[in-house]
């Protein structure tokens, strides 16, 4: 044992001696090599850092941004549209929009198959979109979905958890009254851009301010910022329309369409004193919440875009001009017993045979022969002048898209039959709104008013940006002439007149019927079985609260305006007066016609 210990001690001594004998120079060389290697490594790393931070910074920063920074568009709330009583006619609801992150999707085909039946788009179409944009970090799959679709997509936990798809809350235009006032309001598209009606005309006021911001996103595509300010909402619009009156007008128009099996129908109600549109309706119609489901016929605003020949409603304009120019007096007599009259080779007939009629009776019984004779007394130049005064052949200037100017040829271009034809409402084209405006002038004492439908534009903080007010275009006839004609138009609704079915119990009505044959351009003649039936008037006759026109296109069966349109007028006025609480003037309607001196 002692011998072994001594041996170990001797071996250690020998090892120490060997170490002492290693040359110092070798140690130094080894240290230099190690230090050189370490220094070189630091230099390489430093050079790489400099290259990344300075020379490649812009390129790499862009790549990084694509991965965790996304440009987010904040859609503003579109302005609300109210009726005159601040009832919402167009507003917004919150909806989910579905987006995908193609760069995160591992199996586009599998995901497409899951989503397709829910959003009702083919799997192949979705797959092609995802593959085409596979390098991108965002693409829309479905915008502004209904609640049911959104709930079904939320069940797909895995692709949502993996950040393959996600949801963005967006406002969607919503019309709470459905079809009511659809042709007034119009509609907005998927991008909240106005496409028709007031939504189109006032789009710049309603749309608000779109805002884009850069938002940091985590690996699953969720926003890392929650305090981004919302986009500025749009301005609100206050209408002259009364939602209650609009409902009444639409209901009665729908009933008339169904009863008469008509092709189309129009009704417009106006305050004749101010030019405010209280209601405007067209049939057929559509629901602006689902505009894609409607065709062109349903979306047409015939009240301001479609021209028609007015027929006998034009006789009131003729009579106004004749009275104003003293071409006739109330006691002038006209022999219409023959039942027809020939002018320039064209024969014009009365619907019913009459004997000798005074001027008032020509209008009351709507004699075509009598109207032609009055037109001849007035003369073409004067008649043309008054038609221009009443606004025919020009736009009314109402704030609607697509308003038609109408057709009124210059008197220089009239033929030998034009004066006779225009005296009974032929050879002239107008919109229902133009005719209503003309009768409103008779109702208010002779002033042509500019019709309008938007009362105010109001900012989100409640300030009025723009106000519309009653605008007088021009005086077209004197107050005396207007009053005389109002008295004559009252007789049209009494016994023996053509519009007894427009009679409203307790309140006098003034108005005129129209029954116009539709001109067929294919044959170059007026149709024997296609008509436009109309009634236009105002009530109460001596203190008008409303003026109203009803136009029924191509009714089946009865065609006279007094039988087809007058009852619709009556129903609308009776319900309107109940709604507005207009008192009855008397128990019975009895008219005493008084000759008014000028």
Active site residue 312: yes
Q: How far apart are CA 172 and CA 149, in angstroms?
A: 15
Which DSSP helix (H) or strand (E) runs through 573?
helix 566-580
- CA nearest to 567, candidates 497, 494, 489, 499: 499
Do 490 and 520 contact (CB within 8 A), yes or no?
Answer: no
User: Which one is catalytic: 312, 367, 440, 455?
Assistant: 312
Q: Please state, in angstroms and as integers, the Cα–Cα distance from residue 501 to each residue in 261, 453, 523, following that order.
A: 19, 30, 34
Beta bridge partners, 81, equal: 90, 237
CB contact at 8 A, 485 and 491? no
Q: Give the separation between CA 57 and CA 50, rounded to whole angstroms.
A: 9
- Rounded to whole angstroms, how far apart are CA atoms 533 and 542? 26
DSSP 217: B
3-state helix, strand, coil in the chain (%, to 5): 40, 25, 35
> Which one, of 254, 356, 340, 265, lies nearest residue 561 by Cα?
265
Q: Are 194 and 203 in contact (CB under 8 A)?
A: yes
Closest CA to 313 of 574, 576, 510: 510
Backbone angles phi, psi at 488, to 5 degrees: -65, -40
- Range list of H helices, 445-565: 479-491, 561-564
Length of the chain as a residue count: 598
Q: What tokens does 337 get?
A: 């017993």
Q: How far apart are CA 115 and CA 102, in angstroms?
A: 14
Catalytically annotated residues: 312
């Amino acid at each position: 044992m002692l011998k072994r210990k001594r041996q170990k001690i001797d071996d250690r001594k020998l090892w120490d001696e060997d170490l002492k004998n290693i040359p110092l120079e070798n140690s130094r060389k080894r240290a230099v090599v190690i230090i050189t290697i370490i220094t070189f490594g630091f230099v390489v790393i430093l050079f790489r850092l400099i290259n990344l931070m300075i020379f490649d910074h812009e390129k790499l920063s862009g790549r990084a941004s694509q991965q965790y920074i996304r440009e987010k568009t904040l859609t503003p709330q579109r302005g609300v549209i109210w009726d005159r009583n601040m009832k919402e006619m167009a507003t917004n609801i919150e909806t989910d929009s579905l987006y995908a992150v193609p760069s995160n999707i591992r199996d586009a085909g599998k995901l497409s198959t899951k989503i397709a039946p829910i959003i009702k788009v083919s799997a192949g179409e979705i797959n092609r979109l995802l593959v085409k944009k596979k390098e991108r970090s965002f693409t829309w799959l479905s915008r502004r979905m209904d609640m049911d679709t959104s709930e079904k997509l939320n069940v797909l936990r895995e692709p949502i958890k993996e950040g393959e798809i996600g949801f963005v809350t967006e406002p969607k235009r919503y019309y709470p009254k459905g079809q009511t006032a659809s042709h007034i309001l119009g509609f907005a598209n998927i991008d909240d851009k106005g496409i028709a009606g007031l939504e189109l005309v006032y789009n710049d006021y309603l749309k608000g301010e779109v805002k884009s911001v850069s938002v940091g996103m985590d690996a699953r595509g969720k926003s890392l910022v929650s305090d981004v300010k919302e986009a500025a909402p749009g301005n609100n619009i206050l209408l002259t329309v009364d939602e209650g009156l609009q409902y009444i007008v639409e209901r009665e128009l729908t009933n008339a369409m169904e009863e008469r099996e008509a092709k189309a129908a129009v009704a417009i109600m106006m305050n004749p004193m101010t030019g405010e549109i209280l209601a405007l309706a067209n049939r057929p119609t559509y629901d602006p919440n689902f505009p894609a489901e409607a065709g062109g016929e349903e979306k047409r605003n015939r009240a301001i875009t479609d021209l028609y020949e007015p027929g006998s409603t034009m006789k009131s304009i003729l009579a106004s001009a004749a009275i104003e120019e003293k071409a006739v007096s109330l006691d002038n007599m006209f022999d219409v017993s023959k039942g027809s009259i020939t002018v320039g080779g064209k024969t014009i007939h009365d619907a019913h045979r009459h004997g000798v009629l005074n001027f008032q009776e020509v209008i009351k019984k709507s004699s075509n022969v009598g109207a032609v004779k009055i037109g001849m007394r007035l003369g073409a130049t004067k008649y043309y002048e008054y038609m221009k005064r009443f606004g025919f052949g020009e736009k009314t200037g109402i704030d609607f898209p697509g308003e038609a100017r109408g057709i009124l040829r210059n008197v220089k271009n009239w033929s030998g039959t034009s004066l006779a034809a225009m005296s009974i409402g032929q050879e002239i084209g107008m919109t229902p709104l133009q005719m209503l405006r003309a009768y409103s002038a008779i109702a208010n004492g002779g002033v042509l008013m500019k019709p309008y439908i938007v009362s105010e534009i109001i900012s989100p903080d409640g300030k009025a940006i723009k106000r519309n007010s009653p605008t007088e275009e021009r005086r077209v006839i004197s107050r005396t002439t207007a009053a005389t004609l109002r008295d004559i138009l009252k007789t049209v609704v009494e016994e023996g007149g053509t519009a007894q079915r427009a009679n409203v119990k307790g309140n006098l009505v003034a108005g005129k019927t129209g029954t116009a044959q539709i001109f067929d351009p294919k044959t170059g003649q007026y149709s024997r079985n296609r008509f436009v039936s109309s009634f236009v008037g105002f009530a109460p006759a001596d203190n008008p609260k409303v003026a109203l026109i009803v136009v029924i296109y191509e009714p089946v069966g009865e065609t006279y305006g007094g039988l087809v349109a007058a009852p619709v007028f009556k129903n609308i006025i009776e319900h309107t007066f109940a709604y507005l609480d207009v008192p009855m003037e008397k128990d019975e309607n009895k008219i005493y016609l008084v000759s008014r001196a000028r």
